[in-house]
Amino acid sequence: MPARLIESLATTEPLAEVFSDGSVLQSMLDFEVALARAEARVGIVPKSAAERISAVAHASEFDIPALSRSMFRAGTAAIPVVKALTEKVRARDPDAAGWVHWGATSQDVADTALVLLLKRAQPILASDLERLEKALTKLSEQHKATVMLGRTLMQSAPPITFGLKAAGWLGALHRNGQRLAAGFAEALVLQFGGASGTLASLGDKGIMVAGALAEELRLSCPEAPWHTHRDRLANLVCCCGVLTGSLGKMARDISLLMQSEVAEVTEPGGEGRGGSSTMPHKRNPIACSLTLTAAQRVPGLVASFLSAMVQEHERAVGSWQSEWPVVASVIQSTGSAASSMAEVAEGLAVDSVRMRQNIENTKGLIFAERVMMSLAAELGRDVAHKLVEDTVHKSVAQNKHLSTLLMESPEVRSHLDESLLAQLEVPEQYLGSAEAFREALVTCSAPKKRGQ
């Protein structure tokens, strides 16, 4: 389904569907159905009652606006849903209605429903991250010999390769993808504890019901209920925060490389993508913009979740109730960023000619380090630094290539081989371990084969 207008820049259509009203309600109903079935399996609830509950638990048959109003009055999402479900069951079988929500509490419904939504969101995020990693691997391989300016503190620095830059993005995103997968694995657990987290209302069958319920929902069954222990969800939220930061770093780099004065890469375009409402010549970094928007939003949301972790005793007042919109926003923002950058990486246009031209436009100044290190062996580092620094100042003042002025300096020529000076401004000869680092990043980020 399309996202609401106010959320259109903060989610994707698949994730908007996951967190839609109908999907949220269905997740709560799924909990109730699974609970009845689990309790029927262990002999608590009549099988016929479980069947009646299952038959009416369809979100499309409920008045969602009315439920929303009731939720605000009740202070919890579960109570109005349980009441409405009970009435629907009663209309068909009054006896079965008494078994709805047997032994559970409202937070069991809310927490497990949220976990079920996260379970649906996980493969959506994983798919976009997989697309992104494949595209970055391809970019890195294609451009392993494409030289470009290194940039430190926003200033020109010794050359690197675009392949190394892409591999750097890849490595960070691969690490974050692994953390995210582990975070989901830990967070996708059942919540079922009853009133005080002891399942006392189920007597000696509480643990049996919990195990059966987890099987019904295909969730892990934790050691104990976790009503006021939010560390699993907090870890997942934090993983999303770090991942979105890495996506934002990639978006920041690409948007800077797209500046008119730099013009080394270009986002993929297409209908309705990248234009300006007033300037026909513009090709704006829209996908990067959406990613940076997410990267700025998510840290505050992460902080909101963490601040709600300090919860009272066995059931909290106000803290866990704050989590639904926070978690939904974190997941959707992360998904928006991942999807946007996957689109960028798959269609990024790289101008290798412009990259080399920008190197040449520095008139050799980015190779001052190379000269200084070569002279330092003979003159000492401080003396060499001063000599090269003075030559750099002359280069800037006279608008001459650094190599030209170095060739004119008797002191430099007396200590440096003329062949080095002649090759000073060849970027391929001052890349150090760039390719080794690139290969290591790509290798570490490669999908693992079975058995490895």
The set of catalytic residues is 276, 315
CA–CA distance, 222 with 217 (Å, rounded to integer): 13
The radius of gyration computed from the CA coordinates of the chain, to the nearest angstrom, equals: 30
- Three-state secondary structure of the chain: CCCCHHHCCCCCHHHHHHCCHHHHHHHHHHHHHHHHHHHHHCCCCCHHHHHHHHHHCCHHHCCHHHHHHHHHHHCCCHHHHHHHHHHHHHHHCHHHHCCCCCCCCHHHHHHHHHHHHHHHHHHHHHHHHHHHHHHHHHHHHHCCCCEEEEEECCEEEEEEEHHHHHHHHHHHHHHHHHHHHHHHHHHCECCCCCCCCCCHHHHHHHHHHHHHHHHHHCCECCCCCCCCCCHHHHHHHHHHHHHHHHHHHHHHHHHHHCCCCCCCEECCCCCCCCCCCCCCCCCCCHHHHHHHHHHHHHHHHHHHHHHCCCCCCCCCCCCHHHHHHHHHHHHHHHHHHHHHHHHHHHHCEECHHHHHHHHHCCCCHHHHHHHHHHHHHHHCHHHHHHHHHHHHHHHHHHCCCHHHHHHCCHHHHCCCCHHHHHCCCCHHHHCCCHHHHHHHHHHHHCCCCCCC
**Phi, psi dihedral angles at 204 (to 5 degrees):** -90, 10
CA neighbor of 247 nearest in space, from 314, 344, 385: 344
